[in-house]
């Protein structure tokens, strides 16, 4: 982290096909070795699978999945005196969306077998239905924050 000046917030362009910011954020999470076209193809194939399987708007299902997986609170380690406390903090909207997308892509990558679009589609549908690993991670984060609520006065 630079001590001189804060990093500028980069503006993200919506993706060309769906004109959605969430799809472009998802693309940036999946991208490997600078191959954006391949990442886009994976996302579009995922949305196509969702559309064929559920015959409804795949963008709506994706947005619902991200909304369901977005955490409200998170914990950060804060060192006070000689000991470290897990301090619960409220999550800003942009960071919450980023965390949700990160968890959805992480858990879909971790699954074995099948192709990436299929794994990603399964994880997105599970998150939209309030099940799956990304929802479990969100609940775990909330439980940790609830357990450490006593240290909330170390917030600053």
**Which pTM was predicted?**
0.89
Tell me how far apart the alpha carbons of residues 76 and 129 are, in angstroms, rounded to a whole number: 28
Which domains are assigned to the chain?
Answer: 21-154 (1.10.455.10)
Q: What is the largest CA-CA distance in the chain?
A: 57
Tens digit of each residue's pLDDT (9 = 90 or more) over 15-70: 999 999 999 999 999 999 999 999 999 999 999 999 999 888 999 999 999 999 99
Stretch 117-133: mean pLDDT, rounded? 95
Tens digit of each residue's pLDDT (9 = 90 or more) over 81-113: 888 888 899 999 999 999 999 999 999 999 998
> Residue 1: which pLDDT band, with cuts at 50, 70 and 90?
low
63 burial level (CB within 10 Å; 0-12, 13-18, 19+): middle
**Quick one: pLDDT at residue 156?**
67
**Quick one: pLDDT at residue 95?**
93
- SS3 state at 19: coil
Stretch 138-149: mean pLDDT, rounded? 92
């Amino acid at each position: 982290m630079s001590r001189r000046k804060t990093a500028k917030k980069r503006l993200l362009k919506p993706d060309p096909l769906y004109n959605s910011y969430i799809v472009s954020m998802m693309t940036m999470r999946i991208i490997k070795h600078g191959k954006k076209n391949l990442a886009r193809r994976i996302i579009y194939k995922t949305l196509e699978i969702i559309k064929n399987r559920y015959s409804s708007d795949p963008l709506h299902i994706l947005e619902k999945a991200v909304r369901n997986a977005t955490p409200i609170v998170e914990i950060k380690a804060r060192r006070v005196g000689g000991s470290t406390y897990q301090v619960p903090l409220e999550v800003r909207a942009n960071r919450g969306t980023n965390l949700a997308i990160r968890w959805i892509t992480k858990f879909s990558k971790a699954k074995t077998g099948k192709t990436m679009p299929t794994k990603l589609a399964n994880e997105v549908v599970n998150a939209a239905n309030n099940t799956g690993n990304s929802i479990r991670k969100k609940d775990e984060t909330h439980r940790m924050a609830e357990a450490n609520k006593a240290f909330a006065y170390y917030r600053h």
